[in-house]
Structure 1
């Protein structure tokens, strides 16, 4: 029994020695001074090596959480995350800075970077170079960006970042209003008049001074009319014509399509096509023309759907004396 224990101990020791031999000893990284680590992070930012800058700033924050450059390093880390295309990390770092330093002199910069991160995230690489309508996409990032810029301009109106934030807010406001109009038009095509009217009213009441307001008023007028609310429809139409006299509203209600138009995906059978092909005038003869005598069709003509009728007539004419 004692021999078995000795063998077990020797085996365990040999296994531990083998692990240390193959794995090697972990070498601890040298303790870099705070000033040097911060300087290296700034050099990485200037060289646009944002991944290295993130690594240096994270190490600085972990080793010197209460150091001389800790607060500034947290701000630089937000910027490094933003430039390194890490929007979630950038927003989390901005929220953390605001929570830890609510009275910091550069807190407006944190709000600005947070709003800018969501703003640029929404304008992806694909939408910049392809004709994609951003107003029809999910406005989640646009709403977050608008809220951050709104907080900045409300709390710190004299900030150096306030003018640019106001311009971006106007762009986001126009986009959000147009998105609401797209949703209202979707409801109109499906006959959801209450939902369409509510979307239009939201634009008129909350997103004023945007290009989508006249379209929203037209949607309200049509939706209220379909619901039988003639007074509300008349008021919406009156506001539309009074404030936007040159605007021409096109109905968003989906018309009934013919079977041919549905089968050909709108290529054939549409009313517009019929209107184009319809003659502008009809010449009426002075005397009614006598109907041509009906000739008996042969079996060959019926089977070929009349494709060779002319050739048969020519052959008959030649055969007659």
Structure 2
């Protein structure tokens, strides 16, 4: 019995020594806080964000109450963001905001949180291809808008406020366009109440966006279908007063014909027109200036021809 115990003990020691031989539990050597922080900054400056994340995580784990701990948490948010780890970046930003609500650079945490969601909403293909973002889930865009809104409300004098405000305008247009896309879907499905509510939300909450005239047109059409003629008339009057050049087109789907039903909507019927976008004022003025230039050029050509022919054909041209 005793030799068996001796053999078991020897086997256990041999297994433990084998683990140490093959590097089972390697303990990283102690690195001073200043050195870790400098290495993390060097990695950030070299755009080596994966290494920066590793160094900053190690710095926070070994020196949670050190003099660089708070700054390391901020740098970690940025490193996660540049290393394309949006979930980790948002979690790190939320953690910093929760732990340091009165920090001098807390506006930077809100800005990075909004910027992370902003870039997450913009896919790689959207940057280089004409993809309609209105059909995509606006969850990241809404989260980005809320973070930027908090930044502007709490810290309006922040150095990041101007850029956040510009991005919020883009996000407002993005969210309004998505609401119009959903409202158009409800109109095609004859869900008049849901469509009118979507349009009213755009008019009330997303003003000064290009989607407002579409929202008013949807409200007018949906309220007409609901026999709420007073509300339809009000929406139509506001639309015509503020957007006189807007071309009103139906958003609803016509009743399916026999051919359309047999071909599952492929043939025999026309799809409702896409939402009409109003012509921007700058484009309208540019087009008017071009028309005037063309008219002046044409007039100059006619006057030159008239001089060359001594006005013989002026009466014939006027008659034509």
Is TM-score (shorter-chain normalized) higher than 0.5?
yes
Q: TM-score under structure 2 normalisation?
A: 0.80
Query: Which of structures 1 and 2 has the bigger CA Rg?
Result: 1
The yes-or-no answer on 1:127 pairing with 2:126 is yes
Alignment of 1:84-123 (within 5 A): 84-123=83-122
Q: Give the corresponding residue for 2:58.
A: 59
Q: CA separation of 1:18/1:258 partners in 2, compared to 1, >3 Å: closer, same or farther?
A: same
1:255 match: secondary structure: coil
How far 1:224 sits from its partner (Å)?
Answer: 0.4
Q: Give the corresponding residue for 1:146.
A: 145
Name the stretch that deviates more: 103-112 or 8-17.
8-17
Q: Give the corresponding residue for 1:192.
A: 191
RMSD across aligned C-alpha pairs, in angstroms?
Answer: 1.7
Separation in structure 2 between the aligned mates of residue 267 and residue 54 of structure 1, nearest angstrom: 53
Separation in structure 1 between the aligned mates of residue 270 and residue 102 of structure 2, nearest angstrom: 66
Separation in structure 2 between the aligned mates of residue 50 and residue 35 of structure 1, nearest angstrom: 19
Q: CA separation of 1:182/1:268 partners in 2, compared to 1, >3 Å: closer, same or farther?
A: closer
Q: Give the corresponding residue for 1:80.
A: 79
Q: Give the corresponding residue for 1:21.
A: 17
1:89 match: secondary structure: helix
Q: CA separation of 1:256/1:62 partners in 2, compared to 1, >3 Å: closer, same or farther?
A: same
The yes-or-no answer on 1:10 pairing with 2:6 is yes
How far 1:271 sits from its partner (Å)?
Answer: 6.7
Separation in structure 2 between the aligned mates of residue 91 and residue 44 of structure 1, nearest angstrom: 21
Q: Deviations over 1:213-269 (max 9, x none)?
A: 000000000000000101111111011101111101211111123333455576654
Separation in structure 1 between the aligned mates of residue 264 and residue 199 of structure 2, nearest angstrom: 29
Separation in structure 2 between the aligned mates of residue 200 and residue 267 of structure 1, nearest angstrom: 28
Name the stretch that deviates more: 59-68 or 256-265.
256-265
Q: Deviations over 1:189-209 (max 9, x none)?
A: 001000000000000011111
Separation in structure 1 between the aligned mates of residue 264 and residue 226 of structure 2, nearest angstrom: 30
Separation in structure 2 between the aligned mates of residue 15 and residue 71 of structure 1, nearest angstrom: 48
Separation in structure 1 between the aligned mates of residue 73 and residue 17 of structure 2, nearest angstrom: 40
Q: CA separation of 1:126/1:163 partners in 2, compared to 1, >3 Å: closer, same or farther?
A: same
Q: Give the corresponding residue for 2:305.
A: none
How far 1:100 sits from its partner (Å)?
Answer: 1.1
Separation in structure 2 between the aligned mates of residue 53 and residue 271 of structure 1, nearest angstrom: 57
Structure 2: runs of 5 or more not aligned:
272-320
Structure 1: runs of 5 or more not aligned:
273-321
Alignment of 1:207-218 (within 5 A): 207-218=206-217
Separation in structure 1 between the aligned mates of residue 136 and residue 270 of structure 2, nearest angstrom: 31
| Aligned length, in residue pairs | 268
Q: Give the corresponding residue for 1:159.
A: 158
How far 1:27 sits from its partner (Å)?
Answer: 3.8
Name the stretch that deviates more: 126-135 or 236-245.
126-135
Separation in structure 1 between the aligned mates of residue 37 and residue 18 of structure 2, nearest angstrom: 36
Name the stretch that deviates more: 14-23 or 30-39.
14-23
Separation in structure 2 between the aligned mates of residue 74 and residue 118 of structure 1, nearest angstrom: 19
Q: TM-score under structure 1 normalisation?
A: 0.80
